[in-house]
Amino acid sequence: MPKDYRLCLEKLSAAPPQRKAPLVRVLLPQIEALLDAGHSLKAIWRALSEEGLGMSYGVFHMTVWRARKGNRPTAAMNRERTLAPGEPSELRETVAPVPMERDPLANLRLLEENRPGFHWRTASNPETKPRTGLKGKING
């Protein structure tokens, strides 16, 4: 006697889900259509509760929110056409930019030049003379 597993799964798929979150996910297209038509989520919840949904409004609201969040299209779904494996894609010739010499201390030099306040710079000011001590030696 061969077992017909497919028939068993078809019977199971025809029955409504026993858990509430999958039930809301199954009903999501109708819920969104009612929301688009102007019905409130609370009115939808009341109608489903009268039919025996058995879920508080807060839980229903969160379940609908999660189902709608998971139902959003991704970038891959929005592509007009996906390439089949082995199908050549259109290649563009791109010219790589010529790398400039990189100065790792450029940002520090820029900050040093533009720092606020008064700063005595003897090396950058050629008009100043080095200070000498009592015996004519340069203090450093």
Residue whose structure tokens are 């409130």: 40
Cβ-contact 43, 49 below 8 angstroms: no
Cβ pair 35, 41 in contact under 8 A: yes
In order along its 140 residues, the chain shows pLDDT tens digits of 467 888 888 888 888 777 888 888 888 999 999 999 999 999 999 999 998 888 899 999 999 999 888 866 655 555 555 555 555 556 566 676 766 788 888 888 888 888 888 767 666 555 555 566 566 555 55
Per-residue pLDDT of 28-39, as tens digits, reads 999 999 999 999
Judge if pTM exceeds 0.85: no
